[in-house]
Structure 1
Amino acid sequence: MDYILNFLRPVLRYNYNHPKFTVTWAILISIVAVFFATRLQVDTDIANLLPSTHPSVVALETLQERVGGETEMQVVIHSPSFEDNLRFAEAIIPRSMELTDPRNGLPFFSRYEFIKEVDILKDYALYLATDAELDELIWFLEDEIEDAKLEANPFFVDFEDDWDDDEEDESRGRAFEDLYSELIPDRYPISPDSTSMLLRFIPTGSRSDLSFLRSLFREYDALIAEMNPAGFNPEMQVMAGGRLKRHLMEIDSIMDDVINSFSTGIGSVLLMVLIYFFWKTFINYKRGPESERRKGFFSHVKRAPVPVALIGVPLIISLLVTFGITALVLESLNTMTSVLFVILFGLGIDYGIHFYARYLEKRTSGESVVEALESTYASSGRAIMTSAITTAIALFVLIYADFRGFSEFGFISGLGIVLAYLSMMYLLPAFIVLFERFNWILINSNTAPEPIVRKAPKRYPFARTTVAVGAIIIIFVLFNTEKLNFEYNFSELEPAFPEFEAFRELSREAEGSSSERRNPAYVVADSYEDVDLILSALRNLRAESGEETLILEFEALQERFPINEQAEQHKLSRLAEVRELLNDPFLRDQQDEGLDRLRRAAQATEPLDFALLPDFLTQRFVTRDGEIGQFVMIYPNVSLGDGRNSIAFKQEIGQIEVADGRVFTSASTSLVAASMLMLMTDESFIMVTATFLMIMLMMYFSFRSFRWTLISMLPLVVGLSWLFFVMIIFGLSFNFYNLVTLPAILGIGNDNGVHLASRYREEGPKSMWNVLSSTGQHISIGSFTTMLGFAGLLFTMHPGLYSIGLLAVIGIGLTLLAALTFLPALIQVMEDRNWITFD
């Protein structure tokens, strides 16, 4: 460390000898950085948190290229009258299609979906049934015929009450009813009670174009108001929304959270800095000779903002450069890194606090500006550099993670720490020189022989008790690590939007899709032959898994719609079997609504032209280019909102090996989320371990002593164990968001031990109490400012961001508590036994 400090000393001297030039260039560089930093946007797509080469990401990109991924805007119309809802729908659809973006005059929508043409399907419903569904139907009809024969026999007596057979027959009958309802839905997208109606519009713009989305919903809300729904029905409610609007809400919510955390966090940090240095400079000024006290209390009040500007401006310059570089390298922020500006502000200001506080002590002791800067650089420079380098390296370790939530967090925060350190060590002195020239810093030399007044006893009180309590907590954690939990439920980590929930409440029953068939995974093939192989592999996979399978069902177009002449003839022959059964004398004359539907649905004797099928039925089987798709859809039988279910579903169907040995990768956003969770949980232990080892290595490199390395790291280890204790007691969990704070706490929490150990080693034996009265103040203010930076997240709406702030505030606070209590107490116990040497 000394070599690096001496190597960079000429930079320090140049900057305080040419302060105007240095400050001017720093401001110009920050202006250029602002130009790039303002281009940063927040990307909430979880697929972008995985490496672009990850199989799940590659599969999802292939799916989107071939199949597409349009996000629709939905409009729900709700009133007690179906006729009034229909009149409003027919009135607003043409107005919607004419609606244009005032920014460029282009239409907002490319097409819409409303009325479903179902007449042709009533004649071809069974033509679109799969072989398995036709098998079930044929068995059902055969059983019906057998039952009818037995009932027609006057000598038949049912001696067996076979409930299982009855239940099986009913199940098969319901299966056809469900199939018929799915293939031939209501003509209009309405709820079962006909009170809610749903319209779908496909936007012309991208969901990533936030300006487009804001303009779209602003103009559409104005259109709804202009249409006056109450004029159609006094109780009518009309809302535009859906997933597209929720996406916009989430982005806006995060941006609001960033602004709120920025104002709350940075405001609190600056207020603390102002109060601390006002108190420190005023006390130091009053300690000096009375003959030199030319300034009164009001002069101190006027200069109270000076330390804020003195430390804050260089720090902001470093952060602007940090995010300017981020814009060039990463181009965007993710949800985790979106709040790093305020976090880095709280982190980076620590170095300025340590440097400026020690500088004031040196100036108060009678040193000139240059002498105070040089001696501060020499005395505190090592501890500040050690602290900054260990924190930066601890964060830079995350860059090597494949999970981009870790790697991008590590890159930005590590870079921010390095630039904040350089700014505070080499740019801050230039500002100090300028402020001294204008006499904005009040200094009154204190000629007392002892710069530190010893008001307290030398011994640390209750040392043994403090060590014992701390050790008991550590032992408790070691025996209860299994109680540390991870939150897998994504819904618990997403913000709740009342407007979106209100929309879902109205639209849920009118959406028209089965609640059981959601979140399908897609397997994209290169040919129809490959699709057949994939279907066969899935059948075998489900059979092998048995009752433990998470596969509800799977489907491909060629299972429902014949794609060649051979398949067409096979399907027509199966329909002939059904017609033959329906013409059986024992069923032919039965008057039953279900049988009547079957008779009409089985009439097809000629192949059906695919072009005649309605769009609502074919759209999930057609590619972006309008061609018949070559892919398989796999539906889960569990909710994938729980990450554990997503992981289990991915483990079952993520890789499909077909008969010829080839492997196909399934794709969906839920599978990407599962991959992300698996990667993150796998890498978290590695990242935390690597971070800890790097910190230990840097400590050893700085102190050149294994003993002092352990002493300096004690607050970190003890504070981290106390954090786990609090999590166990209060039921706090790690999650997808806050897990990234663990390596950050390691890097940040180590600062306190570094500064205390360095100063204690410098002062010598029996000096810890005096060290606490000086350096203890500095690390307390430094930790508090860092905690306040994170505390801004406690006022956010986003549960994930809130959890980052909560875990960081508790973790950093407990490492500080360990530094101020456990470390001094342990040193006191060790001094009593002569276990500490200062070699």
Structure 2
Amino acid sequence: MAIPTKASHSRIYDIFARWSTLSYRYAAWVLLSALLVTVVCGLYVSRNLGINTDTTDMLSEHLPFRVNMKHYNETFPQDMETLLLVLDAPTPEQVYTAAERLAARLKKDTASFYDVYTPNVDVFFERNGLLYESLPELEQITDRLAAAQPLIAHISENPTLSSFTSVLTRAVDELREGRSMELQPVLRGISATFDARVDGSPRALSWQTLFNGEPQKNKYQQLIVVKPKLDYTQLSPAEQPIAALYAAAKDIGVSANGPVRMRITGEVALAEEELNSSLRGMEYAGIITFVMVAIVLYFAMHNAGLIINVLVCLTMGLLLTAAFATAAVGHLNLISIAFAVLYIGLGADFAIHFLLRYREILESGTPPAEAMHLSGGDAGAALTACTITNAIGFYAFMPTDYSGVAELGIISGTGMVISLLVTLTIGPALLRYFPRKVSTKAATKSSVGKVLELSLKWHKLTYAVTFVALVAALAILPRVTFDYNLLNMQAQNGEAIRTFKELLVDADNSPWHATALAGSRKEAERLAQQLAKLPEVTKVVTIFDLLPAEQEEKLSLIEEMALTMGPMTNSMQARPMGGEAQISQRKSLDALAAALDRFIAERPDHPASASVRALKASLAALLARLDAASVDERSRLLQSVEADLLTTLPSALQSMRIATEAVPFGMQDLPESLSSRWKSRSGEYRVAIYPAEDLNDNDALRRFVRAVQQVAPNATGAPMVSLEAGEAVVQAFIQAFLLALAGIVAALLIILRSVKYTLLVLTPLLLSSLFTAAFTVVLDVPFNFANIIALPLLLGLGIDSSLHMVHRSLNNEMVSEVLIHTSTARAIFYSALTALVDFASLMFSSHEGTASMGIMLTVGLTFTLLCTLVILPILLKAPAQSIKV
């Protein structure tokens, strides 16, 4: 098999030798033209380049899961692109009132929102809520209200601390004397209220939970679904609606320091948060990269002029590539926005190879003009081959269904061509002025070459280590996984992601649930029955579940409850706390303490004894706090305790009164805001399917999706989108990798005209790819939607490095012992090091997807460097020895 020589590449060599010489000769005109082009491109990009933050546009709309999602969004458009407001408060009364007021406020803001929906805060549910309770539960509520009616009536007539504690004191005494009373929930609630006030983290007593006989929880939630008006012409489409949400919350008194707190999540908030963290990550990465690249370039060149040359070429190439992206695509997406950081690593490789080759020739004593001619020809031929293989690697993504990466492919592939032309046009022109002089000296062995000599000297050991590593990597390879969970890509400390994951824990109300559509009632009921039988499903909800059963029986109990409550008035209002009032309140608290002491002494074995003892301890702590306080502090503390105990009573009584006005209702009586979310105008029924497991787990996600699809093949929702999108991405990358590999092999065979040397170029690439895949398991960094784009980049970098080595070895007829001491080996090392610091900076991004991409690229490039500079020279050694030097 013939060995190609420089003559076989004479046409490319001559073209770039002359091109570089002309740029060097007419440097002033070239630089002036470049400056004008750069300014024009900069203005063009700043005025025309947009950002498409809609992640659904990153995959082909013809994929089945996207077809299903599109049909659902057209059928129920109100569920598309929404914000989810989560309101938290220590009592159900407070959170209900806040949600009601906030929803009313948001509905008035038609400039920011299309729709505002409160699933559980509605007059309809407030009036008919008791009908959704079971008959046994409703009977218990009725009995408890009957027992508590005298206490409630007395307090509602005179809602003061003195009145409340006096009634409670009588109730404790009656309990001690043997009367049967369900007083434990009240005692526990009051005890917890006192403890919270003494500890400095006050919370109100919930009368609603007392009516229902439930223990008061630490937190109650209400959800509000908001459909904002998004502006995709802006970098942050939801910035204005989110700002309007915070302003509305502030207007109604909801703040981080108050009892009610608002958090914002949902698909729009998650996308907004992801965009912001991604941009911050790229911004920080860009700053760190330029600093680190400059440091690496200093060690590579030890010459300020050459460093300036590289940075100028990088800057101009970056602007020209951005201008191409603006003209060809028109926008960047959340993936293609990474081209800037990636271009720095790849573009620096071109400039470093050219400049180090020029310096190597110049140091041998060759005049500058002739050195430019020789280095332009040598570097031009090698860089053209690298550009072709790199571009093929990127362009291979264009025909795939993953349009997000397809856009990155066309931008970055063309960026490689731009980088070649900029390097061999601007680089020579700058060398006319920077540096003014490069010292000539005898060639000496570089430190890089001295280190690489060890691998040649101990080549048997290198073979053995490589073989062991290869076997280990092949053993680990089956454990390589893909993380389908889009949430795991985001910055995990953001409010939207933390709130969303908190909601996912409750499988019954998980925002990640599937949805199927049925064309008729019969079909909807059939689907619901079949899906409910699946072990992967915890519940299935349809519009028919909104009609409570046994309405007549329940209404009889509700009427009894209304008679029990009777007419109650409340005059809850702020009262001045005078000295007499303080004395009265203190006496009532002391009387309660005495009653509790009597109960503990006389009835130590009573079932309520534990609750009484707890209240006695809490009351003792409160009294001690009062004794230690000043007069003004005592007044404020007593007022606060009174508010803690009684502030929710009016709203609880009002809600209970409205609930006793329930009437029987049918499907036609459901409010439009509710029914329209379960039955579309076209007559299709929505079937909501909730998972039995936390879908944060990828295996649980797959089980749930596949089980549901067996019954409802056209089901959609976040779980389906996440899994199917992940599989589509994996398929796209397999397709692109095979296309790229086939194209690169064909290009190498044409360039090298040798099967043997084509295999030599590919061997380091395949080894580094295998080692990188194995290390994703070792580092527990699975492939995901973001870091999988490292594969084509590593493909291009791997081809670049090994092709430079083989090209220099063949065209200059060098044995490995000489090759490792050339500018080519040094350029490979320093350009790889430049790319390493470029990609490693991504690891520090708060965006998990960007950080994992940084890890993947750093590990992959490290293996590429080792395989190219350590293993490839050994493989080249045997065939190279037959070459006549």
- The TM-score with structure 1 as length reference comes to 0.72
* Correspondence 1:686 to 2:740: no
Q: Distance in 1 between matches of 2:311 and 2:526?
A: 65
Superimposed CA distance per residue, residues 451-486 of structure 1 (whole angstroms, 9 cap, x where no aligned partner): 879996989321221122112211332344223333
Q: Distance in 2 between matches of 1:4 and 1:186?
A: 87
Contact conserved, 2:470 with 2:771, CA < 8 A, in 1?
yes
Partner of 2:677, secondary structure, is: helix
Partner residue, 2:696: 641
Which one of 242, 253, 260 corresponds to residue 265 of structure 2?
242
Counterpart of 1:800, as a letter, is G
Which one of 194, 205, 220 corresponds to residue 229 of structure 2?
205
- CA drift of 1:64 comes to 1.9
* Correspondence 1:66 to 2:75: yes
- CA drift of 1:48 comes to 2.1
Higher relative contact order (CA 8 A, sep 6+): 2
- CA drift of 1:263 comes to 0.7
Superimposed CA distance per residue, residues 23-49 of structure 1 (whole angstroms, 9 cap, x where no aligned partner): 344333333433454454555544222
For structure 1, which runs of at least 5 residues remain unmatched after alignment? 101-105, 135-184, 282-303, 562-570, 589-599, 658-663
Partner residue, 1:706: 755
Percent of aligned pairs with the same residue?
A: 20
* Correspondence 1:262 to 2:286: yes
- CA drift of 1:809 comes to 0.8
- CA drift of 1:331 comes to 3.6
Contact conserved, 1:191 with 1:197, CA < 8 A, in 2?
no
Number of residues paired by the alignment?
A: 701
Counterpart of 2:87, as a letter, is V
Range 693-702 or range 455-464, more displaced: 455-464
* Correspondence 1:739 to 2:750: no
Contact conserved, 2:12 with 2:381, CA < 8 A, in 1?
no
Partner residue, 1:31: 39
- CA drift of 1:755 comes to 1.5
Question: Residues 580 and 83 (structure 1 numbering): CA distance in 2 closer, same or farther, change over 3 Å?
Answer: closer
Contact conserved, 2:313 with 2:423, CA < 8 A, in 1?
yes
* Correspondence 1:473 to 2:484: no
Which one of 651, 666, 675 corresponds to residue 618 of structure 1?
675
Superimposed CA distance per residue, residues 547-605 of structure 1 (whole angstroms, 9 cap, x where no aligned partner): 56x444545447867xxxxxxxxx9xx97xx979999xxxx9xxxxxxxxxxx99985x
Q: Distance in 2 between matches of 1:647 and 1:772?
A: 53
Which one of 515, 537, 550 corresponds to residue 508 of structure 2?
515
Superimposed CA distance per residue, residues 513-561 of structure 1 (whole angstroms, 9 cap, x where no aligned partner): 9725643433446xx44x6446546756x59xx756x444545447867
1:802-821 matches, cutoff 5 A: 802-821=851-870
Partner of 1:366, secondary structure, is: coil
Partner residue, 2:361: 362
Which one of 724, 731, 754 corresponds to residue 675 of structure 1?
724
Q: Distance in 2 between matches of 1:721 and 1:323?
A: 33
Counterpart of 1:487, as a letter, is D
* Correspondence 1:333 to 2:332: yes
Q: Distance in 1 between matches of 2:211 and 2:803?
A: 72
Partner of 1:620, secondary structure, is: coil
Q: Distance in 2 between matches of 1:77 and 1:477?
A: 50
Partner residue, 2:650: none
Q: Distance in 2 between matches of 1:266 and 1:463?
A: 37
Partner of 1:519, secondary structure, is: coil
Q: Distance in 1 between matches of 2:774 and 2:92?
A: 59
Partner of 1:823, secondary structure, is: helix
- CA drift of 1:364 comes to 3.0
Partner residue, 2:459: 463
1:728-767 matches, cutoff 5 A: 728-764=777-813, 766-767=815-816
* Correspondence 1:51 to 2:60: yes
1:584-663 matches, cutoff 5 A: 604=664, 608=666, 610=668, 612-614=669-671, 617-621=674-678, 623=680, 629-654=684-709
Superimposed CA distance per residue, residues 756-799 of structure 1 (whole angstroms, 9 cap, x where no aligned partner): 22222244354534543432111101111111221121110112
- CA drift of 1:655 comes to 8.0
Q: Distance in 2 between matches of 1:119 and 1:445?
A: 88
Contact conserved, 2:128 with 2:663, CA < 8 A, in 1?
no
Question: Residues 319 and 96 (structure 1 numbering): CA distance in 2 closer, same or farther, change over 3 Å?
Answer: same
Question: Residues 479 and 120 (structure 1 numbering): CA distance in 2 closer, same or farther, change over 3 Å?
Answer: closer
Counterpart of 2:675, as a letter, is T
Q: Distance in 2 between matches of 1:46 and 1:125?
A: 42
Superimposed CA distance per residue, residues 704-760 of structure 1 (whole angstroms, 9 cap, x where no aligned partner): 112222223332233333334544544443333222212321221122211122222
Superimposed CA distance per residue, residues 376-426 of structure 1 (whole angstroms, 9 cap, x where no aligned partner): 122222222212221221121122221234423322222222211221123
Question: Residues 187 and 829 (structure 1 numbering): CA distance in 2 closer, same or farther, change over 3 Å?
Answer: farther
1:463-612 matches, cutoff 5 A: 463-500=459-496, 515=508, 518-524=511-517, 528-529=519-520, 532-533=522-523, 536=526, 542=531, 550-557=536-543, 604=664, 608=666, 610=668, 612=669
Which one of 823, 832, 838 corresponds to residue 774 of structure 1?
823
Q: Distance in 1 between matches of 2:736 and 2:211?
A: 56
Q: Distance in 2 between matches of 1:547 and 1:197?
A: 29
Counterpart of 1:383, as a letter, is A
Contact conserved, 1:716 with 1:750, CA < 8 A, in 2?
yes
- CA drift of 1:67 comes to 1.0
Partner of 1:621, secondary structure, is: coil
Question: Residues 205 and 26 (structure 1 numbering): CA distance in 2 closer, same or farther, change over 3 Å?
Answer: same
Q: Distance in 2 between matches of 1:346 and 1:636?
A: 44
Range 256-265 or range 320-329, more displaced: 320-329
Partner of 1:361, secondary structure, is: helix
Q: Distance in 2 between matches of 1:110 and 1:444?
A: 72
Partner residue, 2:344: 345
Partner residue, 1:315: 314
- CA drift of 1:245 comes to 3.7
Contact conserved, 2:480 with 2:773, CA < 8 A, in 1?
yes
Contact conserved, 2:787 with 2:850, CA < 8 A, in 1?
yes
For structure 2, which runs of at least 5 residues remain unmatched after alignment? 1-8, 136-208, 561-659
Q: Distance in 2 between matches of 1:20 and 1:615?
A: 73
Q: Distance in 2 between matches of 1:765 and 1:110?
A: 72
1:167-178 matches, cutoff 5 A: none
Contact conserved, 1:643 with 1:677, CA < 8 A, in 2?
no
Superimposed CA distance per residue, residues 676-731 of structure 1 (whole angstroms, 9 cap, x where no aligned partner): 11122234333333333333322222221122222233322333333345445444
Question: Residues 13 and 727 (structure 1 numbering): CA distance in 2 closer, same or farther, change over 3 Å?
Answer: same
Q: Distance in 1 between matches of 2:529 and 2:677?
A: 21
Partner residue, 2:438: 443
Partner of 2:714, secondary structure, is: strand
Range 675-684 or range 451-460, more displaced: 451-460
Q: Distance in 2 between matches of 1:649 and 1:838?
A: 66
Q: Distance in 1 between matches of 2:359 and 2:31?
A: 21
RMSD: 4.7
Partner residue, 1:22: 30
- CA drift of 1:273 comes to 1.4
Q: Distance in 2 between matches of 1:322 and 1:735?
A: 26
- CA drift of 1:665 comes to 2.9
Q: Distance in 2 between matches of 1:119 and 1:345?
A: 59
Superimposed CA distance per residue, residues 70-119 of structure 1 (whole angstroms, 9 cap, x where no aligned partner): 513526253x466666676677666666679xxxxx56676464732246
Partner of 1:76, secondary structure, is: strand
Question: Residues 266 and 192 (structure 1 numbering): CA distance in 2 closer, same or farther, change over 3 Å?
Answer: farther
Q: Distance in 2 between matches of 1:791 and 1:804?
A: 9
Partner residue, 1:116: 122
Contact conserved, 1:46 with 1:672, CA < 8 A, in 2?
no
Question: Residues 461 and 311 (structure 1 numbering): CA distance in 2 closer, same or farther, change over 3 Å?
Answer: same
